[in-house]
Amino acid sequence: MSQLLPTHPEKTWQEELIDAVRDPALLLQQLDLPVTLLEHARLASRDFSLKVPRPFLQRMRKGDINDPLLRQVLPLAAELEETEGYSTDPLQEQAYNAHSGMVHKYRGRVLLIVAPNCAVNCRYCFRRHFPYQDNNPGRQQWQQVFAQLRADQSISEVIFSGGDPLASPDRHLQWLVDSIAAIPHIRRLRVHTRLPVVIPQRITTDTLGWLAGSRLHCSVVLHINHRQELDAAVGGAIAQLRDAGITVLNQSVLLKGVNDCAQTLAELSEALFEQGVLPYYLHLLDRVQGAAHFGVDEPRAIALHRQLQARLPGYLVPRLARDDAGASGKTLVS
């Protein structure tokens, strides 16, 4: 019978980042998985490295190759296959990346690449080939971004993205928020992050200070794909965000072998709502090279979404959407 890994005394979030599992051999050893997986895991991780924080690892079932959390992070031979219709820049973001650290695709909002790295490397990541080396601005370059924001009165919302924005120190994030809040026409701050899920102790007093301490209306969009990702520690991090007056939403990616089941998706929505999180989007997979084995075709996705609509009240049904390169916003799928 499979069992969950034991927990260990809590470390700081910075220590957990440093201590993340990066060696495929260690991952297999920790989870009692067959060594026959090692060769392909090592090959695939050369192109896109393995990184799994231990608090996330501890929610995986030992000995279960089909564990839904493991499947999101384990490098596989399928990643090395070239798949027609999949590319290294599926959303053509580089065409909207005129300034280091800034992607401006949609009217009214702009995305800032606040950190060039994540706490966990999800194997389906649409930015697994993104040129982060060209999007790691220093303070002088950030001033150029702020000048662009001041010049464009149509921008009312700034989105912190990455990488994972919460991989940056709170002092830097506080400086960014203060600089943005000084621009009168910007009203909202949105933070897309997976860190409170994979390392829940990332939510600290300092974090809550910059999230809730400015005039900007702040929302945090978590990225949770399966109910098993929610444990007591994650629930505690979410509670701190909500107690600080922050709107908390969730977006998921529909992933073959992880959550492509109406029952699984319904359980996730209900578990999220119990924690005070509203399901926001259910994304079709972005067609990034190396992730085709996670793809769920659109007719099946629509069928699953209809089953969700039949099972759940409307406020628990995330919007089924896809990102299309060059579109003025997300495309709702129905």
152 and 51 housed in the same domain? no
Name the helix (H) or strand (E) containing 102. Answer: strand 102-103
Query: What is residue 253's three-state secondary structure?
Result: strand
280 and 145 housed in the same domain? yes
Provide the CATH number for the domain around residue 157: 3.20.20.70
133 and 73 housed in the same domain? no
For the cut 70, the answer to whether the pLDDT of residue 3 exceeds it is no
All residues at 6 or more sequence positions from 203 whose CB lies less than 8 Å from its CB, including other chains: 196, 237, 240, 241
For the cut 50, the answer to whether the pLDDT of residue 10 exceeds it is yes
**Domain that residue 203 falls in:** 93-332
152 and 182 housed in the same domain? yes
Instruction: For residue 86, tell me if it sits in a domain.
Output: no
The CB-side HSE value for 58 (13 A sphere, CA atoms) comes to 19
Q: Which of 106, 86, 101 is nearest to 132 (CA)?
A: 101
Q: Can you give the pTM of this predicted structure?
A: 0.93
Sign, CA dihedral 23-28-34-40, equals negative
What number of helices (H) and strands (E) belong to the chain? 12, 11
Phi-psi category of 193—alpha, beta or left, where left has phi over 0 and alpha has psi -120 to 50?
A: beta
Q: Which of 32, 30, 50, 31 is nearest to 40 (CA)?
A: 50
Percentages helix, strand, coil for the chain (3-state, rounded to 5) are 40, 15, 45
Instruction: For residue 87, tell me if it sits in a domain.
Output: no
Please report the pLDDT score of residue 95 as a whole number.
66
Domain count, the chain: 2
243 and 182 housed in the same domain? yes
Instruction: For residue 324, tell me if it sits in a domain.
Output: yes
Q: Strand 319-322 and strand 278-283: pairing?
A: parallel
Query: Per-residue pLDDT tens for 13-60?
Result: 999 999 999 999 999 999 999 999 999 999 999 989 999 999 999 999
Q: Which amino acid is at 218?
A: C
67 and 99 housed in the same domain? no
Higher per-residue pLDDT: 33 or 134: 33
Instruction: For residue 44, tell me if it sits in a domain.
Output: yes
